[in-house]
Amino acid sequence: MTAAQPPRRPTPAPPLDLAALVSDRSTRIIVCCGSGGVGKTTTSAALALAAAEAGREVVVLTIDPARRLAQSLGLVELDNEPRLVETPGAPGELHAMMLDMKRTFDDVVSAHSTPERAQVIFDNPFYQALSSSFAGTQEYMAMEKLGQLRASDRWDLVIVDTPPSRSALDFLDAPNRMSRFLDGTMIRLLTAPARAGGRAGVRFVGAGFLLFSRIISKILGGQLLNDISAFVSALDTMFGGFRERANATYELLRQPGTSFVVVAAPEPDALREASYFVDRLSTEGMPLAGLVLNRTHPPATTALSATRAEGAAEAVAEAGGRGSELAAGALRVHAERMTVATREQRLADRFTSAHPEVPVRTVPAAAGDVHDLDGLRVMGEALLAAEGDTGTGTPRSRVLPVRPQAG
């Protein structure tokens, strides 16, 4: 009777060469996306620092409202304007900023209308709500800001740190949502009188518009309808520009100069989200660089399995003698790490089986939180290291250096 064979592991994923990605001058946009709590913001900052130290002129844009990027870069705060990050000795430069959707919306209005019309828009209650808290505004303004940064000659690389979870790719939907909004029946009806010539236009549009107004007034309230109508009329001449710029940026994200990096931790939920992102990017025709499998826990050696380590620990403890407790404890710690590493490997194998074409880079967990340039530099070395295995290879026998604690 033939003994059962252990299940075959999938062919290892191709390695993700992030060093080549950040140093390649044809790479102009890197978008980091992933679920929350996987180190996506830190990965974005570490890649940005590595690119600056490779001679690139880099700006990193965070859309994550948690504001962790400033802390990682040693800055007190970030706002809607790029701030220079001090990187002594780097041949390039690094700037960082955080999206302020209201300021970005205000800037767009100011840039594409007269001062008088801009003030009318700013004073409109509906605009004030739309520009600060309306669902979808953040993603659309992210598209606007990304387009502005890419169009500038100031930087040759833009790195985008997106919001966590599935909202990370919502900004890809911004052009289509904007087009649907601008082409919607309600917007067309609200702008019809103005396009037809004021009060005369209302008479021209006729009873259909008046009936529509009465119905919507009952639903929304007369004042809100007036606010929306005034806002739409004031912004009418700008609608085409909104659509055109959003579509241009969307197409830019599909070009070879753009690369998406999906970040995940070796946990079931995070890797399910990673699979979602990979499938979504494929559907959208977006160029995927690969997966960063972050916060892995490779053991010091793979020569001793968890089972054998547990058995050895029991034997050492029973034998007693000098140092037996310490030796048994070390063996148990190794057994625990091997158990964790095996579980993480199984999850990574599952991802690679589903996406064998996706390059992978594994990054060991740091000893503590990364919150300064030294910590980012250490992580950057792990991200860009030439040697090492992929997410489906044997874990590297390496741990990140422990950053000395101040004081």
Give the CATH number of the domain where residue 367 resides. 3.40.50.300
Do 226 and 168 belong together in one domain?
Answer: no
Residue 221 has pLDDT above 80, yes or no: no
Instruction: Please count the structural domains in the chain.
Output: 3
Q: Are 99 and 141 in contact (CB under 8 A)?
A: yes
Q: Residue 12: CA atoms inside 13 Å, Cβ hemisphere, count?
A: 14
Tell me, yes or no, whether 8 lies in a domain: no
Do 186 and 208 belong together in one domain?
Answer: yes
Q: What is the pLDDT of residue 349?
A: 94
Contacting residues for 90 by C-beta, under 8 A, at least 6 apart: 52, 53
Do 266 and 203 belong together in one domain?
Answer: no
∠ Cα 382 373 93 (to 5°): 100
Short-list 24, 42, 54, CA closest to 379: 42
Do 92 and 160 belong together in one domain?
Answer: yes
Residue 400 has pLDDT above 50, yes or no: no
Q: What is the pTM of this model?
A: 0.81
Domain residue limits at 26: 18-114+136-177+241-298+353-384
Q: Are 101 and 405 in contact (CB under 8 A)?
A: no
Q: What is the pLDDT of residue 191?
A: 53
Q: What is the pLDDT of residue 407?
A: 38
Q: What is the pLDDT of residue 203?
A: 47
Q: Indicate the burial class of 80 (C-beta count within 10 angstroms; 0-12, 13-18, 19 or more).
A: middle
Do 193 and 247 belong together in one domain?
Answer: no
Region for 37 from its dihedrals, namely left if φ exceeds 0, alpha if ψ lies in -120 to 50, beta otherwise? left
Short-list 173, 166, 175, CA closest to 33: 166
Q: What is the pLDDT of residue 174?
A: 72
Amino acid code (one letter) for 237: T
Short-list 405, 397, 361, 399, CA closest to 39: 361
Query: pLDDT tens across 40-74, in order?
Result: 889 999 999 999 999 999 999 987 666 677 877 88
Q: Are 288 and 260 in contact (CB under 8 A)?
A: yes
Q: What is the pLDDT of residue 271?
A: 95
Confidence of residue 206 (pLDDT cuts 50, 70, 90): very low
Q: How far apart are CA 161 and CA 98, in angstroms?
A: 9
Tell me, yes or no, whether 251 lies in a domain: yes
Do 223 and 80 belong together in one domain?
Answer: no
Region for 165 from its dihedrals, namely left if φ exceeds 0, alpha if ψ lies in -120 to 50, beta otherwise? left
Query: pLDDT tens across 345-354, in order?
Result: 999 999 999 9
363 beta partners: 294
Do 231 and 153 belong together in one domain?
Answer: no
Do 227 and 323 belong together in one domain?
Answer: no
Do 266 and 359 belong together in one domain?
Answer: yes
Do 158 and 227 belong together in one domain?
Answer: no
Alpha helices (runs of H) in 285-323, residue ranges in sequence order: 306-319
Task: Kindly state the average pLDDT of the residues 4-23.
Answer: 81
Residue 95 has pLDDT above 50, yes or no: yes
DSSP string over 217-237:
HHHH-HHHHHHHHHHHHHHGG
Distance, first Cα to last Cα, the chain: 66
What is the residue-averaged pLDDT of the chain? Answer: 80
